[in-house]
A and B are shown apart, each in its own frame.
Chain A
Amino acid sequence: MSLSGACAIAGVYEHPTRWAPDKTEFQIMAESAKGALDDAGLAIGDVDALFGASMTMGAMGIVELAEYLNLKPNYIDGTNIGGSSFVAHCTHAAAAIHAGLCDVALVLYGSTAASTAMAIGTGMGHGTRNAWESFQSPYGMTTVGSYAMVAQLHMEKYGTKPEQLAEIAVTMRRHAGLNPAAKMRAPITVDDVLSSRLISAPLHLLDCCIISDGGGAIVVTSMERARDLKKKPVQILGCGESVCHQEIGAPDLLTMGARQAGERAFAMAGVQRSDIDLAMVYDSFTITVLSTLENLGFCEVGEGGDFVSGGRIGLGGELPVNLDGGGLSNNHPGMRGIFLVIEATKQLRGECGDRQVKDAKLAVAHGTGGTLGVAHSGATLILGVD
């Protein structure tokens, strides 16, 4: 039997905190675990598989997390491929459950990036004793700088305009205004984005994600078991993973991991791009959204500027994107892939109030980890409800 449709998201929880100086990462994860298990109608004793990643967990971090939660799971996976990790964890969990290695998987994330003043976007570029990193470290590579080089190339090659990137930020803020939990809710305009200060040209301050604390949890189980639980199961219909890097030195910076991962996920799910009701894509920066939508196949590479214009990616548009307000306005604790799956799940269960996409049946979630212009990972999930 195919993996497609064999497993489901049975419970989700987005931690409400955006500022948690009084909490630790593991505490946020544990509180999120409680939330997601309650959502599913399960208890911690039902969990036999643990998945997790964070900005500070070390090589044995997943074992420490198991200890913190007093769990002795049959299956553990601390894969850390950046912000996309949790999307990949759902895939790994589904595969392990489908193979009979475990039954109920808990995927966890927690972060205190904001309250511990972690410099996520513009604090890289330290000297390093790592010989491989020495090809970057002399040059002051920043996260935003690597994405800015992708934006610059896109603009040069296809005439993409700063106004088009800005519209993405404006749309995410509009969605955040409909999400009571979002950190930044006051409306902004294209002019606000373009007149905000340049961080790494051509990206302005408001082209960049915010920094917050936060966390979340997801419960994955078999479709068979999920049917008997509290909430409507959200089926995992397709999945895919990928990495993009410098290759032998000549990568096309406009090809994202979303291409390889997305193609596999759509093929597995057996659905078309036009069937998708909403997309949750990692929006570290405005360019990330544009390039992800191109690489997922919603338009050709080069057409992204036009695609994101005219309200198409807003609520009520042809392909609503990031209904929670995304990393640009809702929350961004450093690795926000988990929120893509959480919001997609809530949308497919019809629980999103003012920001609900009407009759949403099919969603794509795509996480990007690392940095587009240097090396990154991609993980795609196609989720659906009957």
Chain B
Amino acid sequence: MAETPELVHPQVYASWETRGYWEGAGRGELVLQRCLSCGTVQHKPRGVCASCLSGDIEHFVASGRGTVYTFTVTHQNMVPPFAAACPYVMAYVQTEEGPRVLTHIVGCDPADVRIGMAVVADYQPQQRTDGEQFAVVRFRPAD
């Protein structure tokens, strides 16, 4: 089977709460949140801690390393641009810092993806007309 076809991911939209994540991705960084009150590390980003509701939240740059928690090789999705990109690998990656992020696994044959496989973050910058410097986070096999 051929390598996953390159897919141009749909545009993302940031709220004030999620902007830190997308701007981080635009710089090539995986940005997560930590509560300064109780220490909870969380994703998706919020304006409050989802454990204790404290508003005292910091963003931090995660390692970008993780393992495949689970995945599916998608053979049918009727919506462009995904229809043309099948088969593509959608996955949850368990980050070293704790949260699992929904993502794609790229840079290898879909048939070679395994649960537990070591992966690193890979960033696809978005071509945008609104001036935002965002990127979509995918993961590829660790070297």
Q: Are A249 and B70 in contact (CB under 8 A)?
A: no
Q: Are A200 and B74 in contact (CB under 8 A)?
A: yes
Question: Is there contact, CB below 8 Å, between B10 and A126?
Answer: yes
Contacts of A186 in B (CB 8 A): none
Chain B 25-68 interface 0/1 with A at a Cβ cutoff of 8 Å (1 = within): 00000000000000011111000001100000000000000000
* B94 contacts across to A, CB distance below 8 A: 250
Q: Of residues 187 to 201 in A, which have CB atoms within 8 Å of B's CB atoms? A: 197-201
Report if B98 contacts A (CB, 8 A). yes
Chain B contacts for A130, CB-based, 8 A: 13
Task: Indicate the size class of the contact surface on chain B.
Answer: 35 or more
- Is A142 in contact with chain B by the CB < 8 A criterion? yes
When chains A and B are docked, how far (Å) is the Cα of A334 from the Cα of B101? 27
Cβ of A124 within 8 Å of any chain B Cβ, yes or no, is yes
B77 touches A152 (CB 8 A): no
* Mask: chain A, 128-147; 1 = CB below 8 Å from B; 0 = not: 11111011111111101100
What is the distance, in angstroms, from B90's C-beta to the closest C-beta of chain A? 5
Inter-chain contacts of A142 with B (CB < 8 A)? 74, 76-77
Cα A203 to Cα B98 with chains together (Å): 28
Interface string of B96-133 (1 = CB under 8 A from A): 00111111100000000001100000000000000000
Determine whether the beta carbon of B98 is less than 8 Å from that of A127: no
B44 to chain A, nearest CB (A): 5
Closest to A247 in B: B50
Nearest CB in chain A: distance from B136 CB, A: 5
Q: Is the CB of A201 within 8 A of B90?
A: no
With A248-B43, A248-B99, A249-B100 known to touch, is A138 a contact of B74 (CB < 8 Å)? no
Please determine whether B79 and A124 come into contact, CB atoms closer than 8 angstroms.
yes
A141→B82 CA distance, assembly (Å) = 10
Q: Give the distance in Å from the alpha carbon of A278 to the alpha carbon of B9 in the complex.
A: 45
A244 to chain B: closest CB distance in Å? 14
- The answer to whether the Cβ of A148 comes within 8 Å of any Cβ in the partner chain is yes
A139/B43 in contact, CB under 8 A: no
Question: With contacts A140-B82, A153-B115, A249-B44 known, is A148 near B72, CB below 8 A?
Answer: yes
Would you call B102 and A135 a contact (CB within 8 A)?
yes
- Indicate whether B2 reaches chain A with its CB closer than 8 angstroms: no
Specify which chain A residues have a CB less than 8 angstroms from the CB of B51 in the assembled complex: 248
Is A61 interfacial (CB-CB < 8 Å)? Answer: no
Q: Tell me which of B14, B41, B73, B136 contacts A200 (CB under 8 A).
A: B73
Q: Does A30 sit at the interface, judged by CB under 8 A? A: no
B13 touches A200 (CB 8 A): no
From the candidates A124, A149, A197, A248, name the one contacting B72 in the complex (CB within 8 A).
A149
Chain B neighbourhood of A116, CB < 8 A: none
Check if A125 is an interface residue, CB within 8 A of chain B: yes
Q: Are B103 and A125 in contact (CB under 8 A)?
A: no
Residues from chain A with Cβ under 8 Å of B11 in the complex: 127
Chain A positions within 8 Å of B, measured between CB atoms, are 119, 122-132, 134-142, 144-145, 148-150, 152-153, 156, 197-203, 246-251, 253, 373-374
19 contacts between A and B (CB under 8 A): A122-B77, A127-B11, A131-B13, A134-B12, A135-B102, A137-B10, A138-B136, A140-B82, A140-B88, A142-B74, A145-B90, A148-B74, A149-B70, A149-B71, A199-B76, A201-B72, A249-B42, A249-B44, A249-B98
What are the nearest 8 A-B pairs in CB distance? A249-B99, A131-B15, A127-B10, A140-B82, A148-B72, A249-B43, A138-B9, A153-B70
> Given contacts A138-B10, A142-B77, A200-B72, could you give 19 more A-B pairs where the C-beta distance is less than 8 Å?
A124-B79, A129-B13, A132-B44, A134-B18, A135-B102, A136-B102, A137-B10, A140-B74, A140-B77, A141-B102, A142-B74, A144-B76, A148-B74, A149-B91, A197-B75, A200-B90, A201-B87, A249-B41, A373-B70
